[in-house]
């Protein structure tokens, strides 16, 4: 029995990791031609398939709880100007896993649709906790940080083991030998997020 349960733990962990980081459910993608993913497949914080008529969507719930610990209706429902919305990305623009030894850029277009504030946080795929780096917080947000904006009001964020020259204010440190994934958080999300007239860029590898 001990061997069976030990094997079950390994199989369950491998299954959950696959569902989380290589999800094949077409509903997971926020944009058909991109790599940003929703945390709430089916748009229900309870993961009830068909409002419970067909039961609970176990894979969708596994996907969320392998990455996170707490959920509320305000994280899944459309509430313009209230609550929060999240988008997750595990791969770069070309669909490759993100490598902590390489340099990347993320373009945040002007006027992010967040009434309160927006942030980008990066996480360790092994622990699913914030990536431990030289920085106290592996993140940037537009209230706490003095981000350097482009002429049109957009912001470019940079990720890598060393800050690009002149881009230090917009840089998030990464760890060679470790992957990472990112979460875009919008607090007080506005209509352009829900109707998709505003869209974040993809994680782009800088050669």
CATH number at residue 12: 2.60.120.600
- Of 86, 77, 112, give the one whose Cα is nearest residue 182: 86
- Of 102, 107, 100, 128, give the one whose Cα is nearest residue 34: 107
Neighbour tally for 183: CB within 10 Å: 19
Q: What angle do CA 147, 132, 13 make, to 5 degrees?
A: 120
Q: Which residue has the tokens 């092994």?
A: 126
The yes-or-no verdict on residue 124 having pLDDT over 70 is yes
Q: In Å, what is the CA distance from 60 to each residue of 23, 39, 53, 116?
A: 9, 8, 16, 28
- Strand ranges inside the chain, DSSP E: 36-37, 84-89, 104-108, 114-123, 139-141, 155-160, 171-173, 181-189, 204-205
The pLDDT of residue 53 = 63
The count of domains in the chain is 1
User: By residue range, what is the domain housing residue 147?
Assistant: 2-205
Q: Which pTM value belongs to this model?
A: 0.92
Residue 52 binned pLDDT confidence (cut-offs 50, 70, 90): low
Average pLDDT over residues 76-95: 95
CA 171/CA 130 separation, integer angstroms? 16
Q: Is 106 exposed, middle or buried (0-12, 13-18, 19+ CB in 10 A)?
A: buried
Kindly report, residue by residue over 53-68, the tens digit of the pLDDT: 678 899 999 999 999 9
């Amino acid at each position: 029995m001990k061997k069976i349960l030990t094997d079950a733990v390994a199989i369950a962990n491998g299954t959950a990791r696959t569902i989380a980081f290589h999800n094949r459910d077409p509903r997971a993608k926020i944009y058909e031609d991109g790599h940003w993913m929703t945390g709430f497949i089916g748009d229900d914080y309870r993961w009830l398939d068909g409002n419970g008529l067909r039961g609970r969507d176990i894979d969708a719930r596994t996907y969320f709880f392998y990455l996170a610990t707490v959920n509320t209706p305000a994280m899944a429902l459309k509430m313009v100007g209230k609550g929060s919305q999240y988008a997750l990305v595990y791969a770069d623009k070309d669909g490759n896993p993100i490598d902590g030894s390489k340099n990347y850029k993320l373009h945040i277009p002007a006027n992010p649709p967040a009434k309160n504030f927006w942030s980008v946080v990066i996480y360790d795929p092994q622990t699913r906790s914030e990536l431990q780096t030289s920085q106290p917080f592996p993140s940037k947000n537009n209230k706490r940080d003095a981000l350097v904006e482009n002429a049109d009001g957009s912001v470019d964020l940079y990720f890598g083991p060393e800050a690009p020259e002149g881009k230090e204010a917009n840089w998030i440190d990464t760890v060679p030998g470790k992957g990472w994934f990112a979460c875009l958080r919008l607090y007080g999300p506005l209509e352009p997020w829900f109707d998709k007239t505003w869209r974040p860029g993809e994680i782009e590898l800088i050669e």
